[in-house]
Amino acid sequence: MFPLPSQGRGLGPHAIGGKLGHYPARESSDSDDEAVAALDVLDAKRATCFIATAACGSPSAPEVLVLQAFRDRVLLTSVAGRRFVERYYRASPPIATLLSKSAALRWLVRAACIRPIIPLAQRMIVIATRRARR
């Protein structure tokens, strides 16, 4: 799936439903650098937004739902977006753990990162939805 750099193409951690599990990596191919396999995309759609969930306190918080829709409708539709999501799911669990231990950090992330991003994410979701209907 998404192996860590030190793991090569063996078993790699992958976030599903907010938990870190191990799933066999697919075999390397020439298309690996161009797109994430369909199964990887489906797994990513089931995964939670670790940092936003930790900062907002619930996977059903409105901000988390907007960010999940942004991931699904905007980021996962491009190679660059899928790469970003892959890196996010590698890096975000320890950050979410840190946030869960500090109310001040949760507030800072909500105020400085999440709230400013939400209007842009909402606008990009609308644009992506309109393009998909064409």
Q: What is the mean pLDDT of the chain?
A: 75
pTM of the model: 0.68
More confident residue, 14 or 80: 80
Mean pLDDT of 87-96: 94
pLDDT of amino acid 46? 65
By CB atoms closer than 10 A (0-12, 13-18, 19+), residue 47 is buried
DSSP 8-state code for residue 23:
E
Let me know: does 52 contact 61? Beta carbons within 8 Å: yes
Mean pLDDT of 18-31: 36
**What is the pLDDT confidence band of residue 115, given thresholds at 50, 70 and 90?**
very high
Query: Over 90: is that where the pLDDT of 104 sits?
Result: yes
Hey, where are the domains in the chain?
5-133
pLDDT of amino acid 35? 39
